[in-house]
């Protein structure tokens, strides 16, 4: 793929790449949760641990551990610096804060990837105060979300207890992710990248995949949702995945994918799973 406009940024192992992420959450108190996450590929193996305040989603305490990785490519100093993200809040400016604390040491980008996954799963457990929902029951206004639920029969794929865990509850939420990229050859003897990303957790079992040609054109875009948080609504977002076919990806891929599978009519998780794949390429 010497003349390609698209290149994979990470050394491949036997013409393929695989990265995994596993995490779980324990309820510590009525306003704090413990988030433990691990990310690894054939080059590194990191673990992050957070004590997170909810519902503000503020990192009260953080630590990192490097189980594997050549020091020249993944500097152990990053684990010592990671504790300084204390006080960061999930939201706008979060990634910038992580990189500011880690600086540009080798391996900082991989620690950032794991921190982003920690932030995503950390927001899945929202400890709401008693009576929080009554303020909505008293409102007569119909918002966009309510209009969606009013459009047909909707079945929840999770228990309401997810938002009211008791102090001391273990593994109130868990998540597993598997990302794979393989170099394959089509019928015209041309190389392409077969990309797939799967997320399985307490309320989801979804996959998105696509083939990426060396000229940046996407084909064979597909997705499935075996377990969904809102059956009757979430299936609609799965039908949008085919819109990715025939687009030519460039360095503005975030907007390209947001327009087709993201935003209010799409699925934030399918969007994230796709963007995580594209982050591994150079356009």
DSSP 145-208: HHHHHTTS--EESS-GGGGSPPTT---SEEEEEEEEEEEEE-TTS-EEEEEEEEEEESS-EEEE
Q: How far apart are CA 262 and CA 216, in angstroms?
A: 20
The rounded percent of the chain whose pLDDT value lies above 70 is 88
Q: Where are the domains of the chain?
A: 29-122, 175-282
Q: How far apart are CA 155 and CA 283, in angstroms?
A: 41
The gap between the terminal CA atoms of the chain, to the nearest Å, is 13
Q: What is the pLDDT of residue 148?
A: 56
Confidence bin at 136 (pLDDT 50/70/90): low
Within 10 angstroms of residue 29's Cβ, the number of other Cβ atoms is: 13
Residue 93 has pLDDT above 70, yes or no: yes
Omega of the bond leading into 10 within 30 degrees of 0 (cis): no
Q: Name the least confident of 6-20, 158-172, 255-269.
A: 158-172
Residue 270 has pLDDT above 90, yes or no: yes
Q: What is the pLDDT of residue 2?
A: 46
Rg of the chain on CA atoms, in Å = 20
Q: What is the pLDDT of residue 152?
A: 61
Q: How far apart are CA 102 and CA 129, in angstroms?
A: 35
Average pLDDT over residues 61-68: 98
pTM of the full structure = 0.88
Q: How far apart are CA 21 and CA 36, in angstroms?
A: 11
Confidence bin at 264 (pLDDT 50/70/90): confident
Handedness of CA 162, 167, 170, 176 (dihedral sign): positive
Per DSSP, 242 falls in state G
Q: How far apart are CA 71 and CA 84, in angstroms?
A: 21
Confidence bin at 92 (pLDDT 50/70/90): very high
Q: Name the least confident of 68-72, 109-113, 209-213, 266-270.
A: 266-270
Per DSSP, 223 falls in state E
* Secondary-structure class of domain 29-122 per CATH: alpha beta
Confidence bin at 1 (pLDDT 50/70/90): very low
pLDDT: is 186 or 74 the higher one?
A: 74
Q: What is the pLDDT of residues 182-220, one digit of tens each?
A: 999 988 888 999 999 999 999 999 999 999 999 999 999
Residue 171 has pLDDT above 80, yes or no: yes
Average pLDDT over residues 65-94: 97
Q: What is the pLDDT of residue 4?
A: 56
Average pLDDT over residues 233-238: 80
């Amino acid at each position: 793929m010497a003349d390609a406009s698209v290149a994979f940024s990470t050394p491949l192992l036997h013409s393929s790449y695989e990265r995994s992420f596993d995490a779980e959450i324990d309820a510590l108190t009525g306003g704090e949760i413990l988030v433990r996450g691990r990310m690894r590929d054939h080059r590194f193996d990191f673990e992050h641990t957070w004590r997170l305040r909810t519902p503000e989603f503020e990192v009260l305490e953080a630590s990192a551990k490097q189980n594997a990785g050549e020091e020249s490519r993944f500097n152990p100093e990053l684990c010592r610096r990671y504790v300084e993200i204390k006080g960061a809040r999930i939201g706008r400016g979060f990634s910038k804060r992580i990189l500011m604390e880690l600086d540009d040491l080798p391996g900082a980008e991989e620690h950032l990837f794991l921190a982003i996954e920690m932030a995503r799963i950390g927001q899945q457990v929202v400890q709401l105060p008693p009576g929080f929902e009554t303020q909505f029951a008293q409102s007569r206004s119909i918002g966009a979300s309510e209009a969606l639920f009013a459009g047909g029969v909707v079945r929840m794929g999770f228990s309401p207890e997810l938002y009211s865990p008791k102090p001391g509850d273990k593994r109130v939420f868990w998540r597993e992710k598997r990302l794979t990229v393989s170099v394959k050859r089509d019928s015209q003897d041309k190389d392409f990248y077969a990309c797939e990303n799967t997320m399985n957790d307490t309320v989801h079992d979804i996959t998105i995949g696509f083939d990426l040609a060396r000229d940046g054109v996407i084909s064979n875009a597909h997705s499935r949702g075996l377990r969904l948080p809102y059956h009757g609504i979430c299936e609609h977002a799965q039908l949008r995945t085919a819109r990715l076919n025939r687009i030519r990806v460039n360095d503005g891929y975030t907007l390209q994918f947001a327009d087709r599978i993201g935003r209010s009519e799409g699925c934030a998780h399918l969007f994230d799973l796709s963007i995580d794949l594209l982050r591994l390429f150079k356009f």
